[in-house]
Structure 1
Amino acid sequence: MNKAAADSQTFRFGGHQSFALRTAWLPKAALAIQEGDDVFSDPLRGVVRLGLGKNMVEALRVWVEAYGVATRNNGKWELTGLGKALFGAGGYDRFLEDEQTLWLLHWNIATLRENPFFAWELLINRWSERFFTTTEIMIAFAREAERAGRPLSNVSARQHFDVWLHTYLRGRNGRGEEGIDSPLSSLGLVVRAGDRETAQGRREPVFAFDLDAKPTISDTLFAYCLHDWWGKAFEFEETVPLSSIAFGHGAPGRVFRMPEDEVLARVMRLAAGRGARIELIESFNQYMVRRPARPTETQLLRDLFRQQPAVELIDA
């Protein structure tokens, strides 16, 4: 999706029932779906099987789709190819223990095309500053609601931002499920960065993105995301500027908040690697990246999990 398309898109501010994802939720839901147990069409069944409150089950129904783990086809829930590879029998990361999986989940929700959430669109794909405050985000939310011609209460806007923030920020307060951090908070993508005085003379927290290199993201995962973005944003283009990969809407460099030199280094390694799917070209004092052929999702997933038996679960 390019910027113009994003500006004409309609985004969601709710549906998550004010609950961010919890670590155990996706594995629980994936196991139930794999066993043919419809825990989402029948809320009571979901409460019993998943051991969650009704509102949490409704939130989880939203998250399994948003994170790319499961989808509903012809009235039946089923795991996606990625969901099978991660959580199926012999899956690669059935209990969300690998940081690569968490980065991949972050990628999926940040680049969601069907019914995307505005907090991810704004903060991941549009926000160019390192720092931000709640006040600034609430103003941006109000502008988006006005642009879309839809009502948005201050309470709903704040809940939506809180869900996004609690997805990435460590240190939630509370008991039981309310006190459990989101698994994506371990990525350290968002941190507390002090306080700032508002126009009304109050102090409010300042938050910041981690803009340092991301060594925990493998080159294989970066390649998967690069091709995924390329297919969505430049489906019929064989060549794209390196700058688009680093800074473009929904691009790996922007979504992962990677320094430009790290993006270049990764592309260089991928272009020089055995069986490379891309080429790096220096043209008119800028780098261009060429992709002679578009790999399929199955090929990309097999690359990503090539040393794992889970690849056998992905349909060709």
Structure 2
Amino acid sequence: MKFVNNKVAFGRHQTFAVRYGWLSKGFQAVKSNPDILRKDDAVAELGVGKNMVESIGYWLRAFQLVEPNSFKVTQLGTDLFSRNKGYDPYLEDEATIWLLHWLLVSNPEQATAWYWFFNRYHKPEFTAQEIQTALSDFVNDQVKDIKRPAVSTLKSDASLIPRMYTQSKLHKHMPIEEALDSPLAMLRLVTQMVGERGFQSKPGPRPGLPIGVIGYAITQLFAAKGTDIIPIEDLMYSRDEFPAIGAVFRLTEVDLLTKLEKLTEYIPAVFQINETAGIHQLYLMKTIDPMEYLHMHYSCSKQGEAA
């Protein structure tokens, strides 16, 4: 979760954005056979080309569904995508897509460009060239003690970010598989500007963002920082090497505070908002497993009562 300047990854997606079905299908294949993505059988098993197999393997790691250096499934991946008892094995709940977004952009070691864009890049309107230039500047300034990625690699990452988060427009000569939106596009965290001059990524209320996902993310953040107090301003803006909730989910300050107030009621006695010396802070009142928040959401969702 914490950005470390010599533990980064760029351009490992083979230029393919993650697609509907890839994560659940890829996860279930790996769970059945941990070596499947290393074998020629994977092409037939998953019904995609060899480069896509490599891309699926990368996205499983980037979304923290398998371990970083192997294809051993994580407990979170099992809880989400297990066919028998998984919360959402076929990616039918929008909450899962919000959760996957958090898992991706809070993973700087495997998805550095995505971490950078949602935590460090705050320009509300931009072009593809501006993203590429800014990402290159970030790498030159912040990435240390490793071989710098090639310009073409950074360009590939920079162009893929808006492709993954905007809804595609089907052109006459575009192959149909290229028009399939990434599931992240439905979150509308990035939108294309009129006339295709560029993109927007502006703060907003995000009514579809469940409190259960907010609770999971914030509980993880408290644990990673090893603290029981975080100023709300630090939850809004990334001021250190950790992701910031407001930036990641593109929330306004008012909307973040509203969701935090709801969070204190979602599972009572876990979080509390207090003002100390004029500074609003979120207090962790007792230790809780982040999965408790996901369990709460998905349990209520099955009953038609999800927040």
Alignment TM-score, normalising by the size of structure 1: 0.84
Structure 1: runs of 5 or more not aligned: 196-203, 310-316
Match of 1:22 in 2: 19
Match of 1:36 in 2: 33
Over aligned residues, Cα RMSD in angstroms? 2.4
3-state DSSP class of the match of 1:70? Answer: coil
Match of 2:264 in 1: 271
8 Å CA contact 1:32–1:38 kept in 2: the answer is no
Give the paired residue count. 292
Alpha-carbon distance, 1:130 to partner: 0.9
Q: Distance in 2 between matches of 1:212 and 1:72?
A: 33
Match of 1:222 in 2: 214
5 Å-filtered alignment, 1:161-180, equals: 161-171=158-168, 173=170, 174-180=174-180
- Letter matched to residue 162 of structure 1: S
5 Å-filtered alignment, 1:77-96, equals: 77-88=71-82, 89-96=84-91
Match of 1:157 in 2: 154
Match of 1:125 in 2: 119
8 Å CA contact 2:104–2:115 kept in 1: the answer is no
- Letter matched to residue 200 of structure 2: A
8 Å CA contact 1:212–1:258 kept in 2: the answer is yes
Q: Distance in 2 between matches of 1:18 and 1:242?
A: 37
Structure-2 change in CA distance of 1:13 and 1:230 (3 Å): same
Q: Distance in 2 between matches of 1:225 and 1:244?
A: 14
- Letter matched to residue 243 of structure 2: G
Deviations 1:76-120 (A, max 9, x none): x3432222222111322222121111111000000014x233321
8 Å CA contact 1:172–1:181 kept in 2: the answer is no
3-state DSSP class of the match of 1:79? Answer: coil
Structure-2 change in CA distance of 1:130 and 1:160 (3 Å): same
Alpha-carbon distance, 1:144 to partner: 3.6
Match of 1:48 among 33, 39, 44: 44
1:106 aligns with 2:96: no
Q: Distance in 2 between matches of 1:97 and 1:109?
A: 19
Match of 1:290 among 265, 283, 289: 283
Structure 2: runs of 5 or more not aligned: 303-307
8 Å CA contact 1:240–1:288 kept in 2: the answer is yes
Q: Distance in 2 between matches of 1:227 and 1:50?
A: 35
Match of 2:182 in 1: 182
Q: Distance in 2 between matches of 1:121 and 1:298?
A: 22
Greater than 4 Å deviation, 4+ residue runs: none
3-state DSSP class of the match of 2:212? Answer: helix
Structure-2 change in CA distance of 1:17 and 1:274 (3 Å): closer
- Letter matched to residue 252 of structure 2: P
Q: Distance in 2 between matches of 1:270 and 1:152?
A: 40
5 Å-filtered alignment, 1:66-77, equals: 66-71=62-67, 77=71
1:231 aligns with 2:231: no
Moved more, 124-133 or 244-253: 244-253
Structure-2 change in CA distance of 1:108 and 1:238 (3 Å): same
Structure-2 change in CA distance of 1:21 and 1:274 (3 Å): closer
3-state DSSP class of the match of 2:61? Answer: helix
8 Å CA contact 2:81–2:88 kept in 1: the answer is yes
- Letter matched to residue 275 of structure 1: P
8 Å CA contact 1:13–1:156 kept in 2: the answer is yes
- Letter matched to residue 16 of structure 2: F
Alpha-carbon distance, 1:179 to partner: 2.4
Alpha-carbon distance, 1:18 to partner: 0.4
Q: Distance in 2 between matches of 1:288 and 1:189?
A: 26
- Letter matched to residue 85 of structure 2: G
Alpha-carbon distance, 1:32 to partner: 1.3
8 Å CA contact 1:239–1:291 kept in 2: the answer is yes
Q: Distance in 2 between matches of 1:28 and 1:272?
A: 36
Q: Percent identity?
A: 27
